[in-house]
Amino acid sequence: MKSAACTVEILPNNEAAVLFDEKQSAPTPGQVAVIYDGDLVAGGGIIRKTF
């Protein structure tokens, strides 16, 4: 999946919701998501669900 603009909302229990600016078709549970701020890795985790 190529880079896509998004907003990250921090949730309780050490979880986050990633809200993309445009519809994405590739995120799949079990894949790894990595969040960048420019060249800096700002966070990451395993995708649990999509909607």
Whether the Cβ atoms of residue 17 and residue 9 lie closer than 8 Å to each other: yes
Each residue of 1-51: pLDDT tens digit?
788 899 999 999 989 999 999 998 878 999 999 999 999 999 999 999 988
pTM: 0.75
Backbone angles phi, psi at 16, to 5 degrees: -145, 150
> What is the reported pLDDT for 30?
96
> What is the reported pLDDT for 26?
79
Distance of alpha carbon 30 from alpha carbon 21, whole angstroms = 22
> What is the reported pLDDT for 25?
85
